Structure 1
Amino acid sequence: FRASDPGTHFWHSHSSLQRSDGFFGGLVIRLPPELDPHRHLYDYDLSEHSILLIDWGERTSAETFAFDFHGGSASSPTTVLVNGLGTSEKGPDMPFPVFKVKAGKRYRFRFAYNGISNCPLHVSVDGHSLMMIATDGRNFEPVEVDAFFIFSGERYDFVLKTKQGVKDNFWIRFKGHGRCTGYLIQAAILSYEGTSDRKPEGKVTYSNTVETDSQRVSASKLPDERFNPPVQNLSTEKPRTVRPNNHQLNYISSYLPPSPPLSQLEDIPQVFRFMLQFPSLGAFCNNKTVAEDCSQVLCQCVHLLNFDLGDIVEFVLVSFTNTVVHPMHMHGHSFRVVAMRSFYHDLTVESVKSMDRKGKIHRRTSKAPYKDTLAVHAQAVTIIRFRANNPGFWFFHCHIEFHAELGMAMILQEGQGREIPRPPKGFPTCGSWTPHHVKTVLVKEQQGAADAETSTGSYGTILGVLIGVIGSAVIIIVVLFLVFRGRCGDKQSVLFSPIKGGNSIRYNSLS
């Protein structure tokens, strides 16, 4: 492939749970110095200062998945690995990773987070500030910070300026949040030239707080008083919503197609339609084509949105309730983040549409940052825009491994017919292998409804249909998408012009 997308990236498997079991690695594409707008900000950009993180557990991912969604209890990672190294309270005493620097120099560090669970990381370096200069392979105006958060799938580059005349070691600290709040910690060592690899002073703890004018209070010394407020007939009932806890987009759990649509699109309907819950729809669906109310029943298909080449597309991502943060990742594109707003109360699609029509959701139309992975927060609205100018089929999914495995994903098709590149002659093909007896049943399916039930059941048994797990809450992201018809040759400024209602706008919801 042509290395035409500079920046800090990482590669990984998208087959089953292989990414979470270690099938991933770093990928850095450097610009020539004369083309790098931040080259004057640093002295060194060394390969040994590329840092790849992963939250790691005691079990294999398949075991963890079973515990989370079938065992009735959630399991959490036990540690964070920094370039494959790290310590754990329950594990052996392993060495901390060490990153060497010289005094009085400026170093570019590159961070990538192959996060598996809902465990964003807070990153800081003792005694040093960080000048952030890039994210997800895209440069931005430098900003100096003391620490930053990184979510699964994200990448951040920063410049660290070392101190003059110092020979010492400093902790690089990683603290888990989200599901890992309060317990998950890890560290590495920033080691100045002329020092040994000894541990820096101070312990690596989660709080890292300094006790200043505190007062200790023992609960046993407090007076024992009882208060009986005059409240009668106080109901203890609390309404709850119970539905498949599938982590979905637009209430749809997406399958991966059995064959790659880019190279074998014509194979998918014939092979895959027998697995669908709604066979009459064909292999592909979205919330505009499903006949069922997917908020009440489990809808499963190859979730696909289709755009004409050159369309300007806006996704309004709505996370209804106070649940987990979903880091959403788009293949094939960087997108502009034009709005992010938290409401701190539950939302509905209609309430968001109403606020948008009244101009209450402001969009940033100048210098909107580029990302390809973005944390969609709970009870919030996040709006992204991109131009559908990359013909083909692209995956859009939650980067929390188990959420994507449960179907929180969709395919974005850009272009039609001959606009989509064809594979080279002799390109290998692949698909699901069907035993002879199942082929026989599938042929008989056309003869009657009873045989249709048999064929669907047999085929589903062979290929393994995902089953929804009943939970006490639902994690939902809804996306309203708008399409602005344009040509590939339109000026870039069109992408960031204010939105006006009416012309060529389609609303779709993604849950």
Structure 2
Amino acid sequence: MATLDRPLSSGVCALTIILYTSLLNGPQTVKGLSQSDVEHHCMRPCDWPSKPRTCRYEFTVEWSYSMSKACFKCPFNVTDCYRPHCLALDGAPRAVAVVNKQFPGPSIQVCEHDQLSVQVNNYLVNAEGVTIHWHGLHQRGTPYMDGTSQVTQCNIPTRSSFTYEFLADTPGTHWWHSHTGMQRSDGVFGPLIIKQAAPDDPHSGLYDYDLPEHVVVVHDWFHEVTVNRFAGHHLSTLSGSPDSILVNGRGQSIEYTMSDSNQTYKTPREVFHVDLGKRYRFRTISNAILDCPIEVSLDKHNLTVIASDGSPFEPVQVARYVIYGGERFDFVLTADRAVGRYWMRFKGLGLCSGVQGLAMVVYNNVEGEEDLASEDYPGIAPEGILLNPFNLPASETVMTVDQLTAIEKQAESLENNDRTFYIAMDFGNITNPNYNHPDYYPVGLKPGHFVYTSQLNFVAFVPPGSPPLTQLADIPEFELCSFESTEAKRDHCKEAYCECTHYLEVDLGEVVELVLVDEGIPFEGSHPMHLHGYSFQVVAMGKIGDSTTVEEVKRLDQAGGINRNFVKAPRKDTVIIPDGGYTVVRFAADNPGWWLFHCHLQFHSDVGMAIVLHVGKDQDLPPKPKDFPRCGNWYPHGNETDKPPPSQMPCSALRSTSSMSYVFMALNSCMVVAVTRLGCASFWC
């Protein structure tokens, strides 16, 4: 059950003071994990048979600052960089959004079947709302806990709290992050690991240790608050590339000079410890914000990759693998090389080309200082397979994710599907009125001020004023547009900007196939597509060329040119679509609700690369939690009949623009609302 409460009672305040004192006085026993994380009773080896626990957490979301007074003499005294509340990051001072004054936020590590309860307190001083999405958890029976702003719930208002309660029933490597605004980009994220007892884990015999400190969160990072870079990139000439890549919130970018000795110092990098001859499970998570595929390797070591997005597959030994925003990959590291120190490299690709994150793997037996390859050295990973490449076709040395072989307890046959949807994605070469004006500064008027618009099926997604999961009746009908209705307007929307609350409707129980096409026409990019509420089978993937069209892929498919694999196809919830190619996924729509499907790159999704999957009817949903919060538009007198006529209502239906006017079309075939520079006018058929 969800509750909207006062964030802190006096009893909790007293407890907070006690915990605060202990944090100041007590050491941090594991780098990357706070004392409270390490001591949480749910972070434990999992029992067989299962002995579920109730795992309670409290998240306080607020603004902090990197390299603040909490860091004392960091980086001159490296010990100070590990002080409680010190956010050293890569040494660049900037405002940072945090949970419990940690970056990344608290690491939730529980066992399968545990019950989670997380009270989220919003203390952001700028009065932003907050929601937390539990990325990778399907929320079966608890769709109200998905944490998708304005789709499954209202934002948690400032100085308020909301308690998420759900079952840890999706084992594997997952994570949590804000699903409101750009808070994820500024620091509101952290790991969510659901472990299994050894008899339930098909790979338990491949490793000796699965340690809490071997969770690896990587992401690109700005030296300024993200909204400034977002606005400056879309409205001016600021770069869309990151300043650095962080590993568990650590990196090196800024040099500090000691005034008396002129010696330079940098903030510490992340360090992982291993013992010679032992095997370790590492869990990697990408919180990529930009078009930033990250290639992972470890000098002189092969990696045995065993799972992705929580789903196990037959082990694959690789030299390198690429992880995209929202994805997770688990690998086993066998510590069988010469005792020493080795770089774990996180090489940026795409817009991150030229940027590299580094962490150090240290054999505990090493004594003294050992020579280490230069940070700028391209890497000395052994030759072998590259898994999950960035815009490369499959080959003898390149393995795409559709070639993986799933390990399923009970194989689910999806060979016969009920519905197939072809979804095009790309950057539209159109005048987006949010960032261009057709008269004052249209697209192409001034070199360097042009920004493409990322869309699905040539339509930009606009979140509604109220969440459709619980308040569908409160959303004006003309704000919503179905997949079928936008299909009819496709040719028009290719030429003019279109936006709406875009949704795709399927019946409960249908087997759904999505043929995802990255047309790749303006330039080479990547789109890691994430589906809430489900994992799917990746049954086909292919790169046709530097560019393609959804029509070309349809013709290829109809001619039998796309071969689908229905035998142990790998299961994921976030997947890449090759630029100039396609990815085909299938799943059984057996989880009713309103589930967002979107590109997991912050800039792409915020511009509109998303659609909502509506599964089932209201009567298929579980009961709504008591006193579940409401939000949305308000009209005087609180009477439905007092709503203004369409000519006076917000013009946010399927909106399209030309160089001379904005035209808003309601796709119910009965009403068209035209908006010119003079205002709104409604026309009824």
One fold, TM greater than 0.5? yes
Q: Could you tell me how far apart the structure 1 residues matched to 2:512 and 2:287 are? A: 27
Deviations 1:219-260 (A, max 9, x none): xxxxxxxxxxxxxxxxxxxxx955543200011111112222
Q: Could you tell me how far apart the structure 1 residues matched to 2:204 and 2:658 are? A: 51
Tell me the residue number matched to 2:345: 173
Tell me the residue number matched to 1:299: 498
The answer to whether the 8 Å contact 2:292/2:324 transfers is yes
- Report 1:291-330 matches (<5 A): 292=489, 293-320=492-519, 321=521, 322-330=523-531
> Could you say if the C-alpha distance between residues 294 and 468 of structure 1 is closer, same or farther in structure 2, counting changes exceeding 3 Å?
closer
> Could you say if the C-alpha distance between residues 285 and 264 of structure 1 is closer, same or farther in structure 2, counting changes exceeding 3 Å?
same
Task: Work out which of the residue numbers 592, 596, 617 in structure 2 matches 1:395.
Answer: 596
* 1:203 to 2:361 alignment: no
State the secondary structure of the residue aligned to 2:493: coil
Q: Give the counterpart letter for 1:286 in structure 2.
A: F
State the secondary structure of the residue aligned to 1:456: coil
Task: Work out which of the residue numbers 438, 453, 456 in structure 1 matches 2:650.
Answer: 456
> Could you say if the C-alpha distance between residues 467 and 100 of structure 1 is closer, same or farther in structure 2, counting changes exceeding 3 Å?
farther
- Report 1:421-436 matches (<5 A): 421-432=622-633, 434=634
Task: Work out which of the residue numbers 166, 184, 190 in structure 1 matches 2:355.
Answer: 184
> Could you say if the C-alpha distance between residues 28 and 420 of structure 1 is closer, same or farther in structure 2, counting changes exceeding 3 Å?
same
The answer to whether the 8 Å contact 1:262/1:393 transfers is yes
Tell me the residue number matched to 1:334: 535
Deviations 1:60-79 (A, max 9, x none): 11011112211134331111
User: What's the offset of the Cα at 1:303?
Assistant: 0.8
Deviations 1:113-149 (A, max 9, x none): 1100001111111121100000000000001111111
Q: Could you tell me how far apart the structure 2 residues matched to 1:43 and 1:425 are? A: 45
Q: Give the counterpart letter for 1:288 in structure 2.
A: S
The answer to whether the 8 Å contact 2:430/2:453 transfers is no
State the secondary structure of the residue aligned to 2:485: coil
Q: Could you tell me how far apart the structure 1 residues matched to 2:459 and 2:610 are? A: 9
User: What's the offset of the Cα at 1:299?
Assistant: 1.7
Task: Work out which of the residue numbers 228, 240, 252 in structure 2 matches 1:87.
Answer: 252
User: What's the offset of the Cα at 1:414?
Assistant: 0.8
Q: Give the counterpart letter for 2:502 in structure 1.
A: H
- Report 1:427-446 matches (<5 A): 427-432=628-633, 434=634, 443=642, 445-446=644-645
Tell me the residue number matched to 1:76: 241
Greater relative CO (CA pairs within 8 A, separation 6+): 1
Q: Could you tell me how far apart the structure 2 residues matched to 1:468 and 1:37 are? A: 54
- Report 1:5-24 matches (<5 A): 5-24=170-189
Deviations 1:313-340 (A, max 9, x none): 1111111124311110111111111111
Q: Which runs of 5+ in 2 are unaligned?
A: 1-165, 257-264, 382-427, 433-451, 660-685
Q: Give the counterpart letter for 1:23 in structure 2.
A: V
The answer to whether the 8 Å contact 2:504/2:612 transfers is yes
Q: Give the counterpart letter for 1:25 in structure 2.
A: G
Q: Could you tell me how far apart the structure 2 residues matched to 1:286 and 1:327 are? A: 21
Deviations 1:407-438 (A, max 9, x none): 11011011113112231232222334x4869x
User: What's the offset of the Cα at 1:375?
Assistant: 1.0
Tell me the residue number matched to 1:61: 226
- Report 1:43-442 matches (<5 A): 43-88=208-253, 93-163=266-336, 166-181=338-353, 183-195=354-366, 201-205=372-376, 207-208=378-379, 242-244=430-432, 245-269=452-476, 281-289=478-486, 292=489, 293-320=492-519, 321=521, 322-432=523-633, 434=634
- Report 1:474-489 matches (<5 A): none
User: What's the offset of the Cα at 1:284?
Assistant: 3.6
> Could you say if the C-alpha distance between residues 178 and 289 of structure 1 is closer, same or farther in structure 2, counting changes exceeding 3 Å?
closer
Q: Could you tell me how far apart the structure 2 residues matched to 1:201 and 1:283 are? A: 57
Q: Could you tell me how far apart the structure 1 residues matched to 2:225 and 2:307 are? A: 33
The answer to whether the 8 Å contact 1:307/1:413 transfers is yes
Q: Could you tell me how far apart the structure 1 residues matched to 2:266 and 2:557 are? A: 54
Q: Give the counterpart letter for 1:119 in structure 2.
A: C
Deviations 1:265-291 (A, max 9, x none): 22223xxx5xxxxxxx45343352576
Q: Give the counterpart letter for 2:482 in structure 1.
A: C
User: Could you say what the CA RMSD is over the residues aligned between the two structures, in angstroms?
Assistant: 2.9
Between stretches 401-410 and 72-81, larger displacement belongs to: 72-81
Q: Could you tell me how far apart the structure 2 residues matched to 1:256 and 1:330 are? A: 16
User: What's the offset of the Cα at 1:90?
Assistant: 6.5
> Could you say if the C-alpha distance between residues 198 and 420 of structure 1 is closer, same or farther in structure 2, counting changes exceeding 3 Å?
farther
Q: Give the counterpart letter for 1:358 in structure 2.
A: A
State the secondary structure of the residue aligned to 1:25: strand
The answer to whether the 8 Å contact 1:170/1:200 transfers is no
Deviations 1:187-237 (A, max 9, x none): 111011133685751211163489xxxxxxxxxxxxxxxxxxxxxxxxxxx
Could you tell me the percent identity over the aligned residues? Answer: 41
> Could you say if the C-alpha distance between residues 188 and 196 of structure 1 is closer, same or farther in structure 2, counting changes exceeding 3 Å?
farther
The answer to whether the 8 Å contact 1:262/1:422 transfers is no
> Could you say if the C-alpha distance between residues 267 and 290 of structure 1 is closer, same or farther in structure 2, counting changes exceeding 3 Å?
farther
The answer to whether the 8 Å contact 2:251/2:269 transfers is yes
Q: Give the counterpart letter for 1:188 in structure 2.
A: A
> Could you say if the C-alpha distance between residues 109 and 197 of structure 1 is closer, same or farther in structure 2, counting changes exceeding 3 Å?
farther
Q: Give the counterpart letter for 2:245 in structure 1.
A: V
Q: Give the counterpart letter for 2:524 in structure 1.
A: T
Q: Could you tell me how far apart the structure 1 residues matched to 2:507 and 2:470 are? A: 19
Q: Could you tell me how far apart the structure 2 residues matched to 1:372 and 1:206 are? A: 34
Q: Could you tell me how far apart the structure 2 residues matched to 1:80 and 1:359 are? A: 42
User: What's the offset of the Cα at 1:59?
Assistant: 1.5
Q: Could you tell me how far apart the structure 2 residues matched to 1:101 and 1:62 are? A: 39
TM-score normalised according to structure 2 size? 0.57
Q: Could you tell me how far apart the structure 2 residues matched to 1:394 and 1:42 are? A: 35
The answer to whether the 8 Å contact 1:184/1:206 transfers is no
Between stretches 99-108 and 351-360, larger displacement belongs to: 351-360
Q: Give the counterpart letter for 1:256 in structure 2.
A: P
Between stretches 260-269 and 192-201, larger displacement belongs to: 192-201
> Could you say if the C-alpha distance between residues 34 and 290 of structure 1 is closer, same or farther in structure 2, counting changes exceeding 3 Å?
closer
Q: Could you tell me how far apart the structure 2 residues matched to 1:468 and 1:12 are? A: 34
The answer to whether the 8 Å contact 2:278/2:335 transfers is yes
State the secondary structure of the residue aligned to 1:247: strand
Q: Could you tell me how far apart the structure 1 residues matched to 2:255 and 2:225 are? A: 16
Q: Could you tell me how far apart the structure 1 residues matched to 2:552 and 2:174 are? A: 37
TM-score normalised according to structure 1 size? 0.76
The answer to whether the 8 Å contact 2:218/2:287 transfers is yes
